[in-house]
Amino acid sequence: MIYAKMRRSFVVILTAAALFVPHKTWAWGHVGHTVIAYAAEQLLTPEAKEKCHHYLRSTLAYQASWMDHYRSIEGYTDCDWWHSTNIDANYKVVVGKPTTGAFHIERIRKEMLNGGYKTMPDSLVKVNLRYLIHMIGDHHCPAHVRWNKEEHPQFHYALAHKGKKKSYHSFWDGSVGYWRKGWTAERFYAEMMKLSKSAAKKVQRGDGYAWTQETADVARGCFRLMPAGTEITKMSQEERADVHSVADRQVQRAAYRLAWVLNEIFSE
């Protein structure tokens, strides 16, 4: 009897807590992007860091989710498509299509390289940096490759969270912090495995298309890892570790590559 009362009490307390604690979204969105941008900033040369701060008037992390906030604002709605890139029927990344993010990663890189940024107004450099910071992050998220529904019907399904439908996309968007609530970007970075110079060199090559292709290949593995209807709350420790392993590796690659791109742009 007393236990039943206590149980009810805990339910009341937990309900009260749920009502008054500020709501957090499921986002990788913000957590993943902040971690990538924060980690990338630690890998910048002093010169590149100073230039980024000069143009952004903030750290990279502060601008990491800007594209998400402005995607539906007049003047920026075209960029709504730039958060992901299409994959064709043969599992190959679609090249040269202006409604894809990979296209714009490469366009902006080329325009800014070799001192190109110096010919741009500061406001354009700023917005281009915001795009690169966000798009390079997005293109390492397994949910940010677009599978045509007719060509790849097998990749269009939902997961489950406490018996309710949970979109596959939103799960992977939130995968970095899903089971690590309250971690700061500093903690993620401290626990992130740092790459040796030679390993970093291997990661830091290629381009937006190659990275997206790699992400598409990773994404196919993710579908095997979490088939349709997977109940997220019932995943074992090993299965969770597998998710973290994929998410962390992608975050790490994104951070190293973002730093590489910015170091290259701002090297004299």
Partner 1 sequence: MRKIVLLCAALFVGTLSASAWSSVFDKTALLVASQNYNEVTKELVVHYVSGDFTRPEGYLAMCRNNGRMSESKGWHRLHLDSNLQPAAKDENDAYVQIERALEVVRNHKEHKKADVGVAIQTVMNLVIDMHNIANVTLDAHPKSAADFQVSTSRGSANGRKPKIWQQSWRDLWTHRFATHRGAYSPQMYAEDLAIMFADKRVEYMAGTLRDWATDIGKYTSSVYEIVERNDNNFHHATVQAHEELHMSCVARAGLRIAALLNENLK
List residues binding partner 1 (CB under 8 A).
2, 5-6, 9, 12-13, 16-17, 20, 22-24, 27, 29-32, 34-35, 38, 53, 57-59, 61-62, 65, 69-73, 77, 80-81, 177, 183-186, 188
* Smallest separation (angstroms) from partner 1 to the CB of 91: 25
* Smallest separation (angstroms) from partner 1 to the CB of 57: 6
Residue placing its CB nearer to partner 1 in the complex, 64 or 159: 64
Distance of alpha carbon 250 from alpha carbon 230, whole angstroms: 22
**Rounded to 5°, angle at Cα 75 from 72 and 76:** 45
* Smallest separation (angstroms) from partner 1 to the CB of 42: 12
Residue placing its CB nearer to partner 1 in the complex, 3 or 233: 3
- Give me the DSSP letters along 230-254: -BGGG--HHHHHHHHHHHHHHHHHH
How buried is residue 183: exposed, middle or buried, by Cβ count under 10 Å (0-12/13-18/19+)?
middle
* Smallest separation (angstroms) from partner 1 to the CB of 185: 4
Amino acid letter for position 60 = L
* Smallest separation (angstroms) from partner 1 to the CB of 97: 15
Distance of alpha carbon 258 from alpha carbon 65, whole angstroms: 15
Contacts of 71 (CB under 8 A, 6+ apart): 77, 79, 80, 83
User: Pseudo-torsion of CA 222, 210, 55, 268, nearest 10°?
Assistant: 140
165-169: long-range pairs with CB below 8 Å, 24+: 166/232, 168/143, 168/226, 169/143
Residue placing its CB nearer to partner 1 in the complex, 34 or 252: 34
Residue placing its CB nearer to partner 1 in the complex, 70 or 179: 70
Residue placing its CB nearer to partner 1 in the complex, 73 or 89: 73
Residue placing its CB nearer to partner 1 in the complex, 17 or 193: 17
Tokens of 24: 């957090």
* Smallest separation (angstroms) from partner 1 to the CB of 45: 17
User: Reduced to 3 states, what is the DSSP secondary structure of residue 160?
Assistant: strand
* Smallest separation (angstroms) from partner 1 to the CB of 84: 12
CB 103 within 8 A of CB 84: no
Residue placing its CB nearer to partner 1 in the complex, 10 or 205: 10
Q: What are phi and psi of 143, to 5 degrees?
A: -90, 0
CB 43 within 8 A of CB 255: yes
